[in-house]
Structure 1
Amino acid sequence: MIGAHALPPEMELIRAKALRALRDVRSVHHNTRTSSDFWADAQRTDAGRRLPEYYLVYFLLVELLGFPHKGPEEKVAWTIPLDYRGKLYTIEHRKMGLGLFIPDPDAHVTEANEIVNRIGKATKEAQPFFNWLADQQVVQSAVNVANHSQPLHQRYKYLRESAQAHFDAAEQRQAESRVATEGMTDLSGWLKLHLLGTRFEPEGDWLALSAVEAFFSWTEHALIHLAILQGRVTTASQVATLAAGDWVGKFNAALDRTEKGAATLLDRILAVRQDLRNHVAHGAFGKQGEALSFHSSAGAVPVLLPHRTGPRHFRFGNGLDFDARQVFGVLDEFEAFMFAGARAPARVFLLEERYSTVLTMVATYAIAMQSTNEMRDFLRHWGDQVDRSANMDW
C-alpha cells in the first residue's frame, strides 16, 4: 500500500483537489450515525452501479486519501465505510461487483446519487496520482504480463491445417483426373480433364502464407514469456523494450545462439520470415526492387537479378513460388527447439494454460521449470489460488 502518508510532495495538491471534489463524502469517524443491524440489512443501491472501476475507487479513497477499510471477507474483497452528512454508507467490492450499500436504499436514492457523483468527480481530479502510482508499480516490476500464447498458437494451427486440407484435396482431385484420362480416346474430354488435373489452385498457398504470418505472431508473443519463465527477463522495462523491438531481439532474449543447432536454425527461420512473411506484410513489393522490371532489347528484366538476390531460400516468382511443406518443416523445427531440453516445462505453461506471467515470481518459476511434473504441480496450485481469488473465497 502506498498510503496517504507516503505521498511525494507533488501529489499533495492532487490529494487536496480530490478532497474538495468529495466535499461531504468523508472517512467514517466516531460520530458517524448507524443502526445496530447495518451490516445485516445493508443492500446495494442503484446509484452504486455507476461507480468508477473498482481499482480507481480503491486507489482514490485508500491509497490517495487514506480512508480506513477492511477485508477481505467471504465473497468480499474489501469494504470502505463512508460518512455522508453524518450517516454511514459502505462501498464494497463483492463477487457480484462494486457497489454502494445502505439499509433501505429506496429511502436514500438522492444521497446515494450525490455520493457516486462526488466520487466520480474526485476520480477525475486524481488522474495524475493514478498515473504516478502505475509508474511506480512498473518501476518495481510488480506487474503481470498477459499471456495470449495459447489462442495465438491455436490460430496458427488452424490456418496450417486448413492449408494442408486444401493441398490434400487438390492432390486428390488431380490424381482422380489423371486416372480418368488414362485410356480416353475422346480428345475434347481428355483435354478438359487434363486441364482440371493441372489447374493451379491458389487457396492453399494463401492459407499457408497466413499460417506463416500467424506463426510469427505467436512466437513474437511466446518468446517474451519464455524468457520470463527462464528468468532471463525480470523487469517491466525489459518486457516493454522487447515488445517494441524486432523478432530477433525476442529470440536472443529467450534462446541462446551458442546452443547446438541454434545458429543454423535461426538462419533458416529468418529466411522464412524475410523472404515470405515480410514480403507479404509490406505489400508484396519487397524492399529490394522485387516488383520492378526494367526495359531492355531482350524484353522486361527483373531489377532484382539472380546475382543480387543473396541467400534467399524462399521467393515469389510467377504466382507464389514456395514449397509450403518445406516452410512448415522449418516452423516445426523451430517450435520443437523452443521447447527442447530444460525449456520443455514452458510448453505446458504457454500452450495448455492462459495464466499471465508475473515478474515478481521469477524464483517460483525457476522451481517449476525444473520438470514438466513440477510445472503441472505449480499450475494446479496456482490455478486454485486464481480461482479462489476470482470467487473471493478467502
Structure 2
Amino acid sequence: MPGKRHPLPPELEGVREKARRALGPVSPATENTPADKDFLFNARRTDAGRKLPPQHLVYFVLADLLGFRDLGRFEKLAWSIPLEFNGRAFLVEHRKFGVGVFAAGGERDEADAAKIVNHIHKAVKAARSFFDWLATKAVEDSAVNVRNNSASLFERFEYLRDLYLGKAEEAEKRKGERNVTSETNKRGYSWQSISYPAMRIRTEARWLGLAAIEAFFSWTEHVLIHVGILCGMLASAGEVAHAAEADWATKFKLAFDLSDTRSKELYDELLRVRKELRNFVAHGSFGKEGEAFDFHSSAGAVPVRLPDPIGSGTFSFGQSTSFNIESALASIAEFIPYLWDGPRAPAKIYVQEYELPLIMTMARDGTYANAMASIEAMNRFADHLVGAMDIAANMDW
C-alpha cells in the first residue's frame, strides 16, 4: 500500500544535508543531461547495480528524503529515478527482477555504476534516523500490514500432533513386547537384561504431545490477533502492538464473547490446559507436576510445587493429577472448528486459506467489516486482493 508523505521535521534537515553530501557528484537528471532519445527504453542493467541496498531504502533516500524525480510505473517497472553522474545519464529503477543501475551501454558504465552504488550506500547509511522516523510515522498512521504466519504455525501444530498420535498408537501396539538379552563376561558370570520398548515410546510420545500443545498455543497467540482485527476489535497498529504483548486470555477475548456459554466453556478448558500442561513445562519443568523443591521432613523428601502463575502465587504442598495429554488435545480438537464457526467463519478464508496479511487501513475504513458479512463476500474480497497483489508482484500495471 502506498505510504503517506509527511513534511520533514526541522531536526531531520541535517540528515537530509548529510545524505545529499554522501551522494557526492550523483545528482537528479535534468533536461540538459545528455541522453539518447530512447534511453529510457534501451538502458541496460549493470552488474555493479546489483549491489545496491534494498529497493525501499534506495527509494526512501532518493525520492522521499532528497526529492529526486520518480518517473512512475511502467510495465514490469515499479519506479524509475533518472540520475546524472559525471555528465552522463543513468537510471536507478526497481524492475521485476530487482533494483539496479541502468546505463546506455558504454565502456565506462560499470566503473561509473560502481561509484554510484557506493555513493548511494553512503547516503543510505547517513539517512538511518530518517528511516526510523518514517517507520514511526507509518505506525502512528496505522499505514502498516500485520504479517500473517497463521497457516505455517497451524501446520507445525498438526505435524507434532500427528507424530504424537503415531507414537502413542505404536506404544499401545507394543505394550506387551519384552526384550531379553543374555550376556556373559570374561569370568564366566552370566546375566539377563530386560527392556520394554513401549516404555521408551510412551516417553517420546509424551514429549511430542507437549510439543504439540506448545505449538497450538503459539498458533493461537498469533491467529487470535488476526481474527480480532477482522472482527473490528483492533483498528490501529498501536492496538495490535499492545495486544501482541498481552496475555493469552486477553487475546482470546478479541475473538470470543465470554457471555456466550460455549465460548466460556472452551475458554476455561483451554486456560486449564495452558496452566497445567504448558506453564510449568515452559518455565523450567523441574518436575512432572511443576515441583521445584523437595522439602526436608521427618517423613523424608516431600515435593513442593512452584507458585501457580495464574493462581495464588504461593508454593503448594504435594502433587496434583498427572498431565493428561489426551484430554488436552481433545479440548484443542473441539476448539479449532469452533474458532472458525459462526461470525468468525469468513476469517478462516482470509487468514488460513488465502494467508493474507492484515492491512490496518482496511480495518479502519470498513473494508474488513464488509468482507466479514458473509463467506461469499470474503471469498470475493480475498480473491480480489490476491489478484491485486499478484499484479503488484509481477508489475503488470
When normalised by structure 2's length, the TM-score is: 0.86
Find the counterpart in structure 1 of residue 390 from structure 2: 387
Q: CA–CA distance in 2 between the matches of 1:57 and 1:81? A: 13
Across the aligned residues of Structure 1 and Structure 2, the Cα RMSD in angstroms comes to 2.8
Which residue is 1:125 aligned to?
Answer: 126
Q: Distance in 2 between matches of 1:210 and 1:134?
A: 36
1:392, distance to aligned residue in structure 2 (A): 0.5
Shift of 1:196: 6.5
Query: 1:3–1:66: 8 Å Cα contact kept in structure 2?
Result: no
Aligned to 1:252: 253
Distance in 1, matches of 2:208 and 2:289, equals 25
In structure 2, what is the equivalent of residue 329 of structure 1?
Answer: 330
- Residue 366 of structure 1 is matched in structure 2 by 369
Asked if 1:77 corresponds to 2:64, the answer is no
User: Structure 1's 136 and 287: CA in aligned 2 closer, same or farther, altered over 3 A?
Assistant: farther
Deviations 1:168-222 (A, max 9, x none): 1222223789xxxxxxxxxxxxxx89x6678872111111100000000000000
- Indicate conservation of the 8 Å contact 1:2/1:63, yes or no: no
Shift of 1:119: 1.1
In structure 2, the partner of 1:186 is none
Summarize deviations over 1:359-383 as a string: whole Å, max 9, x none: 0112221122122222222121111
Q: Is the 8 A contact 1:368 1:375 kept in 2?
A: yes
SS at match of 2:202: coil
Please state how far the C-alpha of 1:86 moved relative to its aligned partner: 2.6
Q: Does the CA contact (< 8 Å) of 2:77 and 2:94 recur in 1?
A: yes
TM-aligned CA distance change 1:138 to 1:155, over 3 Å: same
What's the secondary structure of 1:93's corresponding residue?
strand
2:276 is matched by which residue type in structure 1?
A: D
- 1:63-212 equivalences in 2 (<5 Å): 63-174=64-175, 201-212=202-213
Q: Which moved more, 1:155-164 or 1:107-116?
A: 107-116
1:391 to partner: Cα distance? 0.5
Q: C-alpha deviations, 1:325-355, integer Å up to 9, x for none?
A: 2111111222233222100111222221221
* Residue 289 of structure 1: how far off its partner (Å): 6.9
> Cα gap change, 1:206/1:61 in structure 2, threshold over 3 Å: closer, same or farther?
same
Whole-Å Cα distance in 2 between the matches of residues 164 and 18 of structure 1? 59
Residue type matched to 2:92 in 1? I
The secondary structure found in structure 2 opposite 1:250 is helix
How far is 1:324 from its partner? 2.2
1:295 offset after TM fit, Å?
2.9
Q: Which residue does the alignment assign to 2:187?
A: none
Query: 2:304: which partner in 1?
Result: 303
2:134 maps to amino acid: L
Query: Measured at CA, do residues 282 and 386 of structure 1 come closer, stay the same or move farther in structure 2, by a change above 3 Å?
Result: same
- Relative distance call for 1:115 and 1:81 in structure 2 (3 A) is same
Report the alpha carbon displacement of residue 44 of structure 1 after superposing the two structures with TM. Answer: 0.6
Residue type at the aligned position of 1:57 = V
- Aligned equivalents of 2:63, 2:288: Cα separation in 1: 55
Higher mean C-alpha deviation, range 31-40 or range 17-26: 31-40
2:191 equivalent in structure 1: none
Residue deviations 1:7-40, cap 9 Å, x none?
A: 2211211111111111211112122111123123
Distance 1:320 1:111, change over 3 A: farther
Give, as a single letter, the amino acid of the residue that structure 1 aligns with 2:271. L
Counterparts of 1:42-57 in structure 2, within 5 Å, are 42-57=43-58
- Contact 2:171/2:199, CA 8 A, preserved across alignment: no
TM-superposition CA deviations, 1:283-320 (whole Å, max 9, x none): 11379972322233333322349xxx989xxxxx9999
Tell me if the contact between 1:62 and 1:69 (Cα under 8 Å) persists in the aligned partners. Answer: yes
Closer/same/farther in 2, CA of residues 233 and 196 from structure 1, 3 Å limit: closer
Matched to 2:160, the amino acid is L
Is the 2:303–2:319 Cα contact (8 Å) retained in structure 1? no
Matches within 5 A, 1:223-238: 223-238=224-239
> Is the CA contact 2:289–2:320 (under 8 Å) kept in the aligned structure 1?
no
Whole-angstrom CA distance in 2 between matches of 1:369 and 1:263: 23
Q: After superposition, what is the alpha-carbon deviation per residue over 1:48-96, rounded to whole angstroms, capped at 9, x for unaligned?
A: 1111111011111111111111221100001001111332111110001
| CA displacement at 1:108 relative to structure 2 | 2.1
Letter in 2 for 1:121: K
Unpaired segments of 5 or more residues in structure 2? Answer: 179-193, 313-317
> Distance in 1 between the 2:338 and 2:12 partners?
50
Give the CA deviation at 1:260.
Answer: 2.4
Q: 2:355 is aligned with what amino acid?
A: R
Question: Do the aligned partners of residues 134 and 285 (structure 1) sit closer, same or farther apart at CA in structure 2, a change above 3 Å counting?
Answer: same
Residue 184 of structure 2: aligned partner: none
Counterpart-to-counterpart distance in 1, 2:215 and 2:40: 53
**Quick one: which amino acid aligns to residue 377 of structure 2?**
E
Q: Secondary structure at the match of 1:322?
A: coil
| Letter of the structure 1 residue corresponding to residue 32 of structure 2 | N
- The residue number in structure 2 matching 1:38 is 39
The yes-or-no answer on 1:213 pairing with 2:214 is: yes
Q: Which moved more, 1:35-44 or 1:113-122?
A: 35-44
- In the alignment, which residue of structure 2 is the partner of 1:19? 20
Find out whether 1:9 has 2:15 as its counterpart: no
CA distance change for structure 1 residues 30 and 284 in 2, over 3 Å: closer, same or farther? same
Q: Is the 8 A contact 1:150 1:353 kept in 2?
A: no
For 1:88, the aligned partner's letter is A
What code does the residue aligned with 2:387 have?
A: D
Indicate the larger mover: 91-100 or 264-273: 264-273
Count of residue pairs the alignment pairs up = 371
User: In the alignment, what sits opposite 2:181?
Assistant: none
